[in-house]
Structure 1
Amino acid sequence: METRPTGSRAPVGRRLRPRLRLAVGALLACTVGVVPAVASGEPAAEPTDYTLTVDAAERGPDIADSMYGVFYEDINRAADGGLYAELVQNRSFEYDKADNDSYTPMTAWTSSGATAAQVADDAARLNERNRRYLRVSLAGGSKEFRLTNAGYNSGLAVRKGERYDFSVWARTDRASGTPLTVSLAGAKSGGALADPLRITVRGDRWTKYTGTLTADATRNDGRLTVGAGGPGTLRLDEVSLFPRKTFKNRPNGMRPDLARKIADLDPGFLRFPGGCLVNTGSHQGYEAPDFDRRRSYQWKDTIGPVEQRATNANFWGYNQSYGLGYYEYFQFAEDVGAMPLPVVPALVTGCGQNKATDDPALLERHVQDTLDLIEFANGPTSSEWGAKRAKMGHPKPFGLTHLEVGNEENLPDEFHARFKEFRKAIEAEHPDITVISNSGPDDSGPVFERHWDLNRQSDVAMVDEHYYNSPAWFLENNDRYDDYDRKGPKVFLGEYASRDNRFRNALAEAAFMTGLERNADVVRLASYAPLLANEDYVQWKPDMIWFNNHTSWGSANYETQKLFMNNVGDRVVPSTASGTPSANTPISGGIGLSTWATSAAFDDVSVTSADGETLLKDDFSHGDSRWTPASQRGSWKIEDGAYVQSDTAAEDTMVTAGDPKWHDYDVRAKATKKAGKEGFMLAFGVKDTGNYYWWNLGGWNNTRSAVEQASGGARDTVIEDGTKITAGKEYDLHVKVRGRQVTLYLDGEKWGSFTDKPAEPFRQVVTYDDKRGELVVKVVNAQDTQARTRIGLGRARVLGDTARLTTLEGDPDAVNTATERPIEPEKSTLHGVDEEFTHTFAPNSVTFMRIKAKLPAS
């Protein structure tokens, strides 16, 4: 029987695009047996037929409560100006050129009305970690000194009726004291946003002064001004304006809307404080002879009173205040019901900084710091670090069970030598703590393989994998973990994402996540990354949650992650589905020649079909009329009977030739590097400028060679090795394409081969929710046609004839923004559900069915 959905649908006004109207209309029409039509009046494509069979009598792997979590890193201004609720930017005048070339200690501040106002770093400082302060020589008389902060984005966002706690550390040498006036005003209107606050600073010792401002208007361009009158020298530091309303009303807490969106994911774990910022920079601490602003993230810098915490140059190009520190991370994990999972540096840098620290004393100190961290999290109040936790307001232990050492190290042997020292010390004192290793920055390749070899040899409990790939890669690699060793280390997929925030990216990720759940006995933890992005301070995209100073919104990826995270289930119920007939088509397309920051010459290019027919033959004796530039980059011309690209600065200079319909052929060419940083590329399977394969010889500054697949403009590595290219030497290249099998020959010798997986758009997984007694059928249809699916529930006994349906659907290019949310979940009820029924899944959709059912004993 065919199911019939009823229930809530999205408002009509939100679905104005023709493709979105078609998606909804197609689903509704198909369920009542009517063939839908596109807006032009032409018939829609026929649905693709599938079967989905559930083997309810078998039991799949259990799924841990912590399966899906969140990875938090201070990137894209995720902390200061983001999740950390502080409204004042550069509150302690610590900004520096080490943080960003454009920074000064007065960044975000303006001042007027003083004889002199300068940032000082001398013996009068607030403390050794908060070194800089503002020293003001007041003019006296009627002239008032004014110090104004611009906040983040357009300013300080305030809401009418809400309270904001002001604080400042100050001292004055004026015997009668120095009066301060604290005010809020709009940047554009200049109008007051709250009644001013009046404070008198007394005494020449650092003292904290506080007060509260209540906003009487809602504005996003607020400015905080501290005014001071009279003569004398005034010193100011740690100027703060903090919303009284934070998540869970925590002092020094989190911005409510951002924290709520994270909490709504129901995360099983919180990985913090980041990835690259953890293991980059100096590993020295404040005891180092020089005050190093580029330290790796060290947890002891981030606890205690905020005015005593360090600031640091963030790896991502700005200053991080550490107002949001380890105590707040642990507390936030507890507040959202997540397992805390901190990451500590392993003294081997990653993220392109390939250095290992050979200092036994420094290694010993960091190992001890990690043991102290575990004590801070779990120790009794009678212990040194447990007492510090209790003093901060949390006598009860946080219950730390997992800890990761290192992040994306490109030096596997050096990393594992140090990782063993951390692991040995942790397991000796805390055998109940799971110590997590990693596998480098990529999903494959020599570094990845070496990491995994060492992890297996050491019987590591869990390995963190990271990768950011194209949508095609995620559609092609649903089975990635099917063949992992069930008795080997478990996988923590700590960072992954498709390279954009369009719905097509979320669809590909959803398809991949069905494979993660199917392999829940191997993949124990998984988190999309990065989590947050301030729209005015973006270092990395895509991101799950976007925001500015006054609002936030979940991306299409967020909505997909939330749907999976809120509907995990307790165990997998084995199931199978038929594939898409059109997915397993042969590799087809024209050919191309390219360079990257290199000058190279190509000659004797030919393409021959599998049955010997010559499709193209060009020795460039008659010009270059067969070749079309894929871009305007590079300088191509015929020189000495060869086709030469001479610009050594131009990148991605590809020219193409041939027919996009070509398949099953041999490509041959001769190539010579003339000058530059890298080698050359021979492309095949070229459909257009964003979709092709190329054999990249001498890439990455001539350190390795690889076949890369481009999909939608994003490239993923298929296979690679360490081949380097010698300038002036002519190389013979031969690429043999048969179906989806590719074999490559360099100078007559086999260089490598691969079978490219098809991008399967129809994916599914089924889980069972023990508490609710429900089968959760999860189906991804990442294509432009409907998926008419015959669903068989096997020996499951269906209780009732309805199911709850939650669907995400829309234009694959749709993007959620601050003002539009084209991708949001829609709920409805399915009728006609039985042990066997037919349902048509909408084009470009993620669908979760919850079916009341009793499973046979397994």
Structure 2
Amino acid sequence: MARARRHLPLALCAAVAAATVITVPLDAEAQDATDYTLRVDPRGDGPEIADHLYGIFYEDINRAADGGLYAELVQNRSFEYDPVDHPSYTGLTAWTPVSLAGGAGTAEVVDDEHRMNERNRRYLRLELAGTGGTDAAFGVTNSGYNTGIAVREGAGYDFSVWARTDAPGGTPLTVRLTDAGGAALAEPLRLEVTGDQWTRYTGTVTAEADSTTGRLTVAGGGAGTLRLDMVSLFPRDTFMHRPNGLRRDLAEKIADLEPGFLRFPGGCLVNTGSHYGYEGPDYPRARSYQWKDTVGPVEERATNKNFWGYNQSYGLGYFEYFQFAEDIGATPLPVVPALVTGCGQNQATDDPELLARHIQDTLDLVEFANGPADSEWGSLRAEMGHPEPFGMTHLAVGNEENLPEEFFERFVQFRDAIEAEYPEIVVVGNSGPSSAGATFDRLWELNREAGVEMVDEHYYNSPQWFLENNDRYDSYDRQGPEVFLGEYASQDNRFRNSLAEAAFMTGLERNADIVRMASYAPLLANVDYVQWSPDLIWFDNHRSWGSTSYETQKLFMTNVGDRVVPSEASGTPVLTEPITGAVGLSTWATSAAYDDVRVTSADGEVLFADDFSAGDGHWSHPDGRGEWAVEDGAYVQRDTSAEDTLVVAGDPEWRDYDLEVTATKLAGQEGFLIAFGVRDTGNHYWWNLGGWNNTTSAVERSVDGGKSTMVERPTRIETGREYEARVEVRGREVSLFLDGELWGSFTDDQIAEPFRQVVTYDEQAGELIVKVVNAQASAARTEIDLGGALVGRTARVTTLRGDPDAVNTAEEQPIRPEESVVRGVGPEFTHTFPPHSITFLRIRARI
């Protein structure tokens, strides 16, 4: 689907409601500044920037769908919750039986021949006793999500339920909206259920007060058997006022990003599950996400166990995703399973019939999205309200697979089948779950050899890594596949993370000829149901707010430009120090024993030796995790559930040393961890042997708690076997030996440059956009040379700045855009960029 290019001025009107516009003289913050130069070549040849360079990645994680973007207010509306979804679940999770005015009865969730359909199988059976007076009723109350159902005074809410009754004269149904204490929030809605066939009943209630603790009660009067299913309450004011629609404030925050594409529905939930078939005793649960389960009438869609540990209703399905993408002007980019699990689950199906069926399902998906209204799947799209094609151009197969050969064998079969029928579709491959390593290298090799058009990269690394890797894509092969950076973020949600991400994004734009699409991930997080952080947008049941990274992404996404203008900046003077630090031992969900720890200087002096014959007095246990004790002359950690059980010994000023240790895995999921260069619990290196469920080993560097991989090898650790490990540290170079053999080595000499920039040109506005990130504590006084371009005398400026530890919360968003105008701009001028800041200058220019 073609999109108009974005040529919006910086953060105008409601997009930055809290911004203030001030006029600032040049060089207004010149004290305590580091000096830089920035040279722009307006006549140079820079790459064109794709209309869809920046987009959004949506995955149903952190309850992003039910209880989040999907506007349904009733939790477990079809009584399908089950222990397979979560050990605490029952069919009545979020429901409580309730008696009104003396009514009595029983409430039971059943699956029998009276069910509504074969996919949405369970329903609520109320046996009504007929006790009490005219107003007596018996039923159930739903507690919604978070603290309850959130309603606004004066707002309308659409109620619906599927019901049937065996009472000859019908069953009166009372619908009440109250707060947690039982106080009425709206006039009761009264309906009459007639007949013993499933029928949908509807009505509207109008809230008479604000509440975030609302409860919805549905109760039947009289005697007999009343069956209920799909009990629903939607705000009438959904995004675009669509039925079965999206929560407005969340959808608007996403739309305000002006994303070029929408990647959906994941993520790990796409290619994980106990099996991939349609049949089986647990159908339709605990299986991979399959698009055909999510379309058609909502009441006929399956529910499924979500990879992230809860139930997903599929009320927000493929039709709604395509529709949302169209509503916000984004290219839809669905991801389908490749029948090779990822995300730490390493399995591949060998069933050729199942593979063939999934390939056909994918061809049917293309027809659903793009086919004519009289085709088999295009007609379903038309029946759902969209006769015109959605215009899908890209489709991804697989996500973060750890089995390169198995994945790629299946990927090629998908791609060949899609290209045979739909040659216009770009089929996107992937490179596994990390930014480097054996899996990453092998998948890129396979993608290149097969001529794949675009490869999806994913990585979540420390802010340090992002500052060090601005030039990551400078050396990528321009004759090979293009890059789709489908998931990335630095590890935390503070402004220091946003600064590092912004510095990295200047490198993405500079390499816009090879990096064609990029999306921060994950997108959404419900504060009461968090499986993963960081996240872009946070919410509860009535509020939403953007993280500091949201403000950063929004600034970049709404000010992209049409092409890159070549530019060059001076760097920050850096003094390279050797790796220094103490040593440590740790485990992760594993029991292990350590013995004969020895640290020797480069010239042979013994700095530390411990055979634990005298106990563990040399070791500190800073976080207290795990069960460490000396047993039979070894230091043993016994807790197989504890993670990151680090114990530390030695001098934090040690440098240029050898660390030797004997390690034995005793039990558990992984191997053992040997730490060096330990400054504290958040700043160290560790050799993670048998990590990631004993599938991979790597050296990880932790900076302020954020980790990045230095070197990675496929290494498994055997239980009960002694391993001799040695780590040699020389300056910034590290060599690692396992049982006397060189396992790997690395040099940690990349510079975490805090001053980064890129310049683009907005053709429609006729403006240079100078984008500068200053991720350090001192201001950056910068001599800017625009290369003789004919420019205006003022610049419109938008700045994000603040404490690097600042976090945006529901109560306070300290990181918000500030708008200003600077005067005295010319072909050459000086501007001082504040400490810890991201600054965009828009300058009228003829180039």
Given the two structures, how large is their TM-score scaled by the length of structure 2? 0.92
Q: Structure 1 residue 388: deviation in Å?
A: 1.1
Range with bigger deviation, 713-722 or 242-251: 713-722
1:98 matches 2:98: no
In structure 1, what is the equivalent of residue 458 of structure 2? Answer: 466
In structure 1, what is the equivalent of residue 150 of structure 2? Answer: 157
- What is the SS of the residue equivalent to 2:416? helix
| Partner residue of 1:593 out of 557, 571, 584 | 584
CA contact (8 A) 2:490 2:706 kept: no
| Partner residue of 1:770 out of 734, 743, 763 | 763
Q: Which amino acid aligns with 2:127?
A: S
Cα distance, 1:165–1:701 mapped onto 2, change above 3 Å: closer
* Mapped partners of 1:497, 1:427: distance in 2: 32
| Partner residue of 1:832 out of 820, 824, 827 | 824
Cα distance, 1:682–1:237 mapped onto 2, change above 3 Å: closer
* Mapped partners of 2:26, 2:654: distance in 1: 36
Unaligned runs of 5+ in 1: 1-6, 16-23, 36-45
Describe the superposition over 1:516-573 as per-residue Cα deviations: whole angstroms up to 9, x where unpaired.
1111111111111110111111111111101111110001111111111011111111
Q: Which amino acid aligns with 1:107?
A: T
* Mapped partners of 1:638, 1:136: distance in 2: 60
* Mapped partners of 2:451, 2:517: distance in 1: 18
1:31 matches 2:27: yes
Q: Which amino acid aligns with 1:601?
A: Y
1:279 matches 2:262: no
| Partner residue of 2:785 out of 784, 792, 795 | 792
Cα distance, 1:574–1:602 mapped onto 2, change above 3 Å: farther
- What is the SS of the residue equivalent to 1:117? strand
Equivalent positions of 1:285-364 (< 5 A) are 285-288=277-280, 291-364=283-356
CA contact (8 A) 2:485 2:519 kept: yes
In structure 1, what is the equivalent of residue 635 of structure 2? Answer: 644
Describe the superposition over 1:453-493 as per-residue Cα deviations: whole angstroms up to 9, x where unpaired.
11111111111111111111111111111111111111111
- What is the SS of the residue equivalent to 2:442? helix
Describe the superposition over 1:78-119 as per-residue Cα deviations: whole angstroms up to 9, x where unpaired.
111111111111111111111111111111111134432211
Aligned residue pairs, count: 818
Equivalent positions of 1:180-219 (< 5 A) are 180-188=173-181, 190-219=182-211
* Mapped partners of 1:372, 1:553: distance in 2: 38
1:518 matches 2:510: yes
CA contact (8 A) 1:278 1:297 kept: yes
* Mapped partners of 1:248, 1:69: distance in 2: 20
CA contact (8 A) 2:25 2:823 kept: no
Cα distance, 1:210–1:675 mapped onto 2, change above 3 Å: closer
Q: Which amino acid aligns with 1:845?
A: S
Cα distance, 1:652–1:214 mapped onto 2, change above 3 Å: closer
CA contact (8 A) 1:8 1:828 kept: no
CA contact (8 A) 1:591 1:682 kept: no
1:74 matches 2:65: no
Range with bigger deviation, 753-762 or 545-554: 753-762
- What is the SS of the residue equivalent to 2:85? coil
* Mapped partners of 1:103, 1:732: distance in 2: 46
* Mapped partners of 1:613, 1:156: distance in 2: 68
Describe the superposition over 1:155-189 as per-residue Cα deviations: whole angstroms up to 9, x where unpaired.
1111111111111111111121111121211113x
CA contact (8 A) 1:602 1:669 kept: no
Q: Which amino acid aligns with 1:439?
A: S
Given the two structures, how large is their TM-score scaled by the length of structure 1? 0.91
Q: Which amino acid aligns with 1:58?
A: G
| Partner residue of 2:34 out of 48, 63, 72 | 48
Cα distance, 1:29–1:339 mapped onto 2, change above 3 Å: closer
Q: Which amino acid aligns with 2:62?
A: N
CA contact (8 A) 1:803 1:850 kept: yes
1:849 matches 2:841: yes
Equivalent positions of 1:643-682 (< 5 A) are 644-645=635-636, 647=638, 649=640, 651-663=643-655, 665-673=656-664, 675-677=666-668, 680-682=672-674
CA contact (8 A) 1:634 1:645 kept: no
Describe the superposition over 1:572-609 as per-residue Cα deviations: whole angstroms up to 9, x where unpaired.
11111122213x51233222031313433343623425
1:608 matches 2:601: yes
Q: Which amino acid aligns with 1:120?
A: V
CA contact (8 A) 2:26 2:823 kept: no
| Partner residue of 1:758 out of 751, 754, 777 | 751
In structure 2, what is the equivalent of residue 40 of structure 1? Answer: none
Q: Structure 1 residue 345: deviation in Å?
A: 1.0
| Partner residue of 1:148 out of 119, 126, 141 | 141
* Mapped partners of 1:404, 1:811: distance in 2: 39
* Mapped partners of 1:635, 1:233: distance in 2: 56
* Mapped partners of 2:349, 2:646: distance in 1: 41
Q: Structure 1 residue 695: deviation in Å?
A: 3.0
* Mapped partners of 1:357, 1:79: distance in 2: 29
* Mapped partners of 1:194, 1:533: distance in 2: 30
Cα distance, 1:632–1:233 mapped onto 2, change above 3 Å: closer
Q: Structure 1 residue 758: deviation in Å?
A: 2.1
Cα distance, 1:254–1:577 mapped onto 2, change above 3 Å: same
Q: Structure 1 residue 496: deviation in Å?
A: 0.9
In structure 2, what is the equivalent of residue 133 of structure 1? Answer: 123
| Partner residue of 1:571 out of 555, 558, 563 | 563
* Mapped partners of 1:724, 1:132: distance in 2: 44
CA contact (8 A) 1:763 1:779 kept: yes
Cα distance, 1:120–1:710 mapped onto 2, change above 3 Å: same
Cα distance, 1:579–1:685 mapped onto 2, change above 3 Å: farther
- What is the SS of the residue equivalent to 2:326? helix
CA contact (8 A) 1:636 1:643 kept: no
Q: Structure 1 residue 731: deviation in Å?
A: 2.3
Cα distance, 1:618–1:455 mapped onto 2, change above 3 Å: same
* Mapped partners of 1:177, 1:88: distance in 2: 25
* Mapped partners of 1:70, 1:115: distance in 2: 49
| Partner residue of 1:88 out of 74, 87, 95 | 74
In structure 2, what is the equivalent of residue 231 of structure 1? Answer: 223
1:264 matches 2:250: no
* Mapped partners of 1:646, 1:557: distance in 2: 38
* Mapped partners of 1:574, 1:585: distance in 2: 29
CA contact (8 A) 1:54 1:793 kept: yes
Q: Structure 1 residue 505: deviation in Å?
A: 1.0
In structure 2, what is the equivalent of residue 548 of structure 1? Answer: 540
* Mapped partners of 1:396, 1:352: distance in 2: 40
Cα distance, 1:204–1:747 mapped onto 2, change above 3 Å: closer
- What is the SS of the residue equivalent to 1:356? coil
Unaligned runs of 5+ in 2: 1-10
Cα distance, 1:409–1:704 mapped onto 2, change above 3 Å: closer
CA contact (8 A) 1:8 1:827 kept: no
- What is the SS of the residue equivalent to 1:262? helix
CA contact (8 A) 2:598 2:606 kept: no
| Partner residue of 1:254 out of 217, 236, 246 | 246
- What is the SS of the residue equivalent to 2:362? helix
In structure 1, what is the equivalent of residue 163 of structure 2? Answer: 170
Q: Which amino acid aligns with 1:588?
A: I
Range with bigger deviation, 566-575 or 682-691: 682-691
CA contact (8 A) 1:172 1:232 kept: yes
Range with bigger deviation, 699-708 or 371-380: 699-708
In structure 2, what is the equivalent of residue 41 of structure 1? Answer: none
Cα distance, 1:743–1:345 mapped onto 2, change above 3 Å: same
CA contact (8 A) 2:795 2:842 kept: yes
Describe the superposition over 1:599-655 as per-residue Cα deviations: whole angstroms up to 9, x where unpaired.
33343623425xx48482546699876654444346767889x77345464654444
CA contact (8 A) 2:451 2:481 kept: yes
- What is the SS of the residue equivalent to 2:467? helix
Q: Structure 1 residue 722: deviation in Å?
A: 3.3
